[in-house]
Amino acid sequence: MSNIRLSATAIQDWLECSRRFLYRYEYGLRPDEDRDSQRIGTTWHNCHEIIRMVPQSKCPTCMHRGEVHYDCYLCDGTGRLPQDMMEAVTRYVNHAYAEVPDNKSREEWEVERIGVLYSFSGYRWYFDNSRFENLASEVWFDNPVVNPITKREMQGVKVVGKTDHILRDKESGLIYIGERKSTSTGIDNMDYWARLEMDVQVTLYMYELRIAQMTGKLRKYGISEDDPLIHGAWYDVWHKPSIKPKALSQKDTAEFLSCGVYCGEKFAVGEDNGAVFVNDDSALTVPGKKGFAIRETPEMFGARLLADICERPEFYFEQREIARDDRQLEEFEQDLCRIVRAIRTYRSGDLWVPNCRSCSSPFWCDFRSLCMNHVPVGPNDVPEGFKKGK
């Protein structure tokens, strides 16, 4: 029987739809193209990792390569990080969005780039993260599942994962798991936060890292077995912009062309044979009864987005502690064993069935088209639009 590797995502997929679990973790299928949410989330995470680097220190990328590269977005070919790490963040985002993919228009790609970059600027303005000391970043775990009744390891089973950070509250000394998230769901109401009360990832990370602490595996990060156990998870959430570029009214267009100021930001505006240029970018014009209006360029959209962030930052950013008590962790330990036994039963009996309630909630399932079109998929098949991968 092949091994079972359970991550937080794998467990969640198993609980929501066994057919999804089969395709993704048993067969190793992945969509050919990454989801927008996955790409944006990765870029957002990397921005935070870069901003944490020590200014004017040696460039870690060039050091790893063994030579300075002129096109390195971290050091700009100097071999050392800049004094203002936001310069490196900007270069990184520009690098990440340098080439427009086939499934995006130039404007869509530029709007996404500006959405990430301007949101990150707004985040830094809104939050002072001096509360925590960062003890470790990207802490991996790869642990066996232990049956709480027999106290024996379940053979061929591992729980795997990686937490973003381990943090220490400078005032209280309490230790937290730091998790950074991006979401399209509103965070200014209780719905988003209520679901985290039973979130698998939070529980899994608390369970595994407490075990790591009690067994001395966190000593290298300055966390001993005698320290208070990891207290909770600190969630740092970004609500991705929902606004998009819009057309100005004819009145607002005339005012903008006369003064060049839009949402508090100054632009270079020009007209040539009926075409309007904003910072050398051509703006789409919309004819009207008394003249014309223009549609926001990506940079104009960015100015409006930043103004909106300044006006209502709580709509875009939130940080909260997510707690777990001992009873919840004990129940989770038992649930891990139940899940392993269930997966083995499904394997032996070929019991993989789809759950139609999970096709589009809480997100659009990657394998929805296969189930809806009744596409037969075996362990060695790679349907059109998919690939094999981790």
The per-residue pLDDT for range 80-119, each reduced to its tens digit, is: 999 999 999 999 999 999 999 988 999 999 999 999 999 9
Would 230 be classed as within a structural domain?
yes
Mean pLDDT of 132-154: 93
Given a contact cutoff of 8 angstroms between Cβ atoms, the answer to whether 170 and 223 are in contact is no
Residues 235 and 379 in one domain: no
Residues 193 and 320 in one domain: yes
Q: Which residues contact 298 (CB under 8 A, 6 or more apart)?
A: 107, 110, 111, 113, 114, 245, 281
Q: φ and ψ at 6, to 5 degrees? A: -105, 115
Give yes or no for residue 136 having a pLDDT over 80.
yes
Mean pLDDT of 150-159: 94
Residues 278 and 215 in one domain: no
Q: Which residues pair with 163 in a beta bridge?
A: 139
The per-residue pLDDT for range 319-352, each reduced to its tens digit, is: 999 999 999 999 999 999 999 999 999 999 999 9
In angstroms, the CA 73 to CA 94 distance is 9
Q: Which residues contact 250 (CB under 8 A, 6 or more apart)?
A: 288, 290, 291, 292, 293
- DSSP assignment string, 2-65: --EEE-HHHHHHHHH-HHHHIIIIIS-EEESS--HHHHHHHHHHHHHHHHTSPTTSBPHHHHHH
Would 260 be classed as within a structural domain?
yes
Give yes or no for residue 61 having a pLDDT over 90.
yes
Residue 271's domain comprises 247-295
Would 109 be classed as within a structural domain?
no
**Percent of the chain scoring above 70 in pLDDT:** 99
Give yes or no for residue 1 having a pLDDT over 60.
no
Q: Residue 390: its pLDDT value, please?
A: 64
∠ CA 239-241-242, nearest 5°, is: 110
Residues 196 and 331 in one domain: yes
Mean pLDDT of 287-309: 91
Tokens describing residue 1: 């029987």
Give yes or no for residue 130 having a pLDDT over 90.
no
Question: Confidence class of residue 54 from pLDDT cuts 50, 70 and 90?
Answer: very high
Number of structural domains the chain divides into: 4
In eight-state DSSP terms, residue 234 is E
Cα 336 from chain centre: 25
Mean pLDDT of 136-161: 93
Residues 206 and 324 in one domain: yes
Would 205 be classed as within a structural domain?
yes
Residues 215 and 332 in one domain: yes
Residues 7 and 68 in one domain: no
Question: Confidence class of residue 273 from pLDDT cuts 50, 70 and 90?
Answer: confident
Would 215 be classed as within a structural domain?
yes
Cis before 362? omega within 30: yes
DSSP-derived 3-state class of residue 237:
strand
Closest listed residue to residue 214, CA positions, set 132, 156, 146, 164: 146
Would 216 be classed as within a structural domain?
yes
Q: Residue 387: its pLDDT value, please?
A: 93
Q: What is the pTM of this model?
A: 0.90
Q: Residue 12: its pLDDT value, please?
A: 95
Mean pLDDT of 127-132: 85
Mean pLDDT of 191-217: 94
* Range scoring the smallest mean pLDDT among 173-187, 203-217, 267-281: 267-281
Would 347 be classed as within a structural domain?
no
Residues 261 and 202 in one domain: no
Residues 72 and 10 in one domain: no
Q: Residue 203: its pLDDT value, please?
A: 97
Cα 287 from chain centre: 40
Amino acid making up residue 136: A
Mean pLDDT of 181-210: 92
Give yes or no for residue 223 having a pLDDT over 70.
yes
Question: Confidence class of residue 389 from pLDDT cuts 50, 70 and 90?
Answer: confident
The H helix count followed by the E strand count for the chain is 13, 15
Residues 236 and 381 in one domain: no
Would 174 be classed as within a structural domain?
yes
Tokens describing residue 285: 């014009």
Question: Confidence class of residue 137 from pLDDT cuts 50, 70 and 90?
Answer: very high
Residues 210 and 257 in one domain: no
∠ CA 30-34-35, nearest 5°, is: 110
Given a contact cutoff of 8 angstroms between Cβ atoms, the answer to whether 214 and 225 are in contact is yes
Mean pLDDT of 222-245: 95
Residues 217 and 324 in one domain: yes
Helix crossing, 8-16 with 200-214: angle to 10°?
140
